[in-house]
Amino acid sequence: KELAITLEERWGHSTQPRPEGKLVWIHAVSVGEGAAALPLISKILERAPETNILVTGGTLAAEEWRRYRYPGSVIRQSVPIDTRGAVQRFIAHWKPDIGVFIESELWPNLIDEAHKKGVRLFLFGARMSSKSAKRWQWPVANAMLNDALSKFQIISPRDIEQCRRFEQLGVPSGTLGSPCDLKLIASVAASTTNAE
């Protein structure tokens, strides 16, 4: 049954209703990215407990991890595959007010559709390996990358080195926010909680 639901969601067919009110959507595909997003989720709920939070993940392992560690109010769903139809169904159903992408999950159709529908997009803990950066420097690839990145209001790289890398790829300095290592924040938060 869970696998059938996951497949439906992957095609953009949401299996849960959209709650009324503001909805913040966090795109964190892996277990590590899901863990990195946890302090952000906690802070949002602390400051605005009425906010609805939707988290999209991409693996069964990530879903299993979130099930036991996320607050019960957080809506969990599989991310739709990055085809035009699937992402249109997903965005039309959830109508997020804000979209937060974690680290390196750049899905062109998903980003484009969210931007078209007026979703305010942010990329936190942004990172890219030197190998990937070299591939993105090819003119056609670089144009595609910059088109996707231009749709984010703020891109906050993981550290200074990553900040320089994104600048070299053509991201305007005005778009780049302060470095933000979400995994470091998550590990500190976890160790603090365990010590209490």
Q: Is the pLDDT of residue 195 over 50?
A: no
pLDDT of residue 51: 93
The total of other beta-carbon atoms located within 10 Å of residue 97's CB is: 15
pLDDT of residue 177: 87
pLDDT of residue 181: 67
What are the tens digits of pLDDT across the range 104-134? 878 899 999 999 999 999 999 888 888 888 8
Say whether 48 sits in a helix, a strand or coil. Answer: coil
Structure-block tokens of residue 133: 């950066």
Buried b (16+ CB within 10 A) or exposed e, 45-77: beeeeebbbbbbbbeeebbebbeeebeeebbbb
Active-site positions read 33
Alpha carbon distances (Å) from 88 to 44, 91, 94, 111, 155: 26, 5, 10, 11, 24
What are the tens digits of pLDDT across the range 26-40? 999 888 888 888 888
